Amino acid sequence: MTRYQPLPQDFYKGNRARFAAQMQAGCVAVFYSNDVPPTNADGTTHFRQNNDLLYLCGIDQEETSLVIFPDSGFGKHKEILFIQETNEEILLWHGYKYTKEEARAISGIDTVYYTHEMERVLFQVIVESAGIYLNSNEHFRSVIEVETREMRLGKALKAVFPYHEIYRSAPIMHKLRYVKQAAEVQMLEKAIQITNQAFHRILKMVKPGIMEYEVEAELIHEGVRNGCRNHGYLPIIASGANACVLHYNDNNNRIADGDLILMDFGHEYGNYNSDLTRCVPANGKFSDRQKAVYNAVLRVNKAATALLVPGAKLDTYTTTVGKMVEEELIGLGLFTKADVAAQNPEKPLFRKYFAHGVSHSLGLDVHDVGSRFQAIEAGMVFTVEPGIYIREEGIGVRIENNILITETAPINLMRDIPIEVEHIEDLMRSGK
């Protein structure tokens, strides 16, 4: 049993069909689950399924593998699923695992073997094929320092079949996953709903003198009680000048009266992620300067959202939003138009106060797969997260929403989460 309801079987069947349609003739594709990561001694962290495997079969369990071979002469081997066999020892120590019948019901794959049968069956399949598709983590921001299960088993296959052509699955998977289907949007909306509940919970308890990690604890509570296994990413609860550290997640400082608190967090539901940033005053009232900076960022957020339409290019969009931030920084008195005219174009002045990007794709990964150079299409989901960070004033503001692209106008999936200064202050004052 899982904490969430898997997506409909037809979702996974359709994804496999779309993948198979883009394979070279006569080839076989193999996908592996993630490892259960070790810590120290005999410790492990939580298992998190490989997103590509999950997208294709829906089996959220360790030691799972998937084979897709559309041109197999043996009909039952056109799609094969391998799952961990349950035995008395596994039941005693680790609990229940999927039966073959349950795996078929979720995935829509008729041919299911146990993992210990994989070496024999996979050999029979691959010798019939003309080439092998292997998957890998090819996200442009990834830093891979350990050998994954995917890498180990892929290396073993290449050693056994050195004369087979090897193809990459990642380009196909990136293209498929970039545009979200209606069922995926519903999962994102569920994750966002839980994140919204957590934000309202925080507004009731934030006050000067508490620790940043006490706020984090409220996020954990709201997530777990609603069926989330994990944060989408390590939450940032950054008070005062900590908000100017872009990836601050120590969350161990005491929140002072007068601090503005930047909170960047998102819950993961059914392996789909939300990604929210809001800023609230510790004492319930924005100072004039905090309000000015916040509203400057909010104006950019709203204007940037309007630019996310089909056909737009992310590189052009990012440049345009940078100009918006530049104008707001001039309005805040951080530099002048004359300073901008004299700046080194390779090192624009606004980058001192806004060093990160504006938007990224969102889905099974928080920084989801897809091409930065592909024109935006309806069905894609992006964050919009401009910010202004003034370290010398101890003020850092980022405002982030999750946006669904449609043929008509972008839809803010976080439209129900408070964002206006007055609304946030009213909620904090009323304790609602």
Comparing 320 with 92, which gets the higher pLDDT? 320
Residues 6+ apart with CB under 8 A from 4: 227, 269, 270
Half-sphere exposure of 29 (CA within 13 A, CB side): 25
How high is the pLDDT of residue 122? 96
Distance between CA atoms of residues 219 and 21, nearest Å: 42
CATH for 390: 3.90.230.10
Tell me: pLDDT of 1 over 70.
Answer: no
pLDDT over 70 for what percent of the chain?
Answer: 100
How high is the pLDDT of residue 145? 83
How high is the pLDDT of residue 230? 85
Residues 165, 233, single domain; the answer is no
Q: What is the pLDDT of residues 143-178, one digit of tens each?
A: 888 888 999 999 999 999 999 999 999 999 999 999
Distance between CA atoms of residues 136 and 52, nearest Å: 9
Q: What is the pLDDT of residues 367-392, one digit of tens each?
A: 999 998 999 999 999 999 999 999 99
Mean pLDDT score of the chain: 95
Residues 122, 186, single domain; the answer is no
Rounded to two decimals, the pTM is 0.96
Residues 193, 257, single domain; the answer is yes
**Final residue belonging to a domain, choices 175, 202, 233:** 175
* Residue-range definition of the domain harbouring residue 106: 9-175
Q: What is the pLDDT of residues 316-361, one digit of tens each?
A: 999 999 999 999 999 999 999 999 999 999 999 999 999 999 999 9
**Final residue belonging to a domain, choices 175, 195, 213:** 175
Q: What is the pLDDT of residues 253-309, one digit of tens each?
A: 999 999 999 999 999 999 999 999 999 999 999 999 999 999 999 999 999 999 999
**Final residue belonging to a domain, choices 175, 196, 217:** 175
Residues 153, 188, single domain; the answer is no
Residues 123, 221, single domain; the answer is no
Cα first-last separation, the chain: 35
Domain assignment present for 1:
no
Domain assignment present for 313:
yes
Which alpha helices (DSSP H) does 108-211 contain, by range? 118-126, 149-160, 170-178, 182-205
Residues 241, 116, single domain; the answer is no
Tell me: pLDDT of 432 over 80.
Answer: no
Residues 6+ apart with CB under 8 A from 131: 24, 26, 27, 28, 164, 165, 166, 167
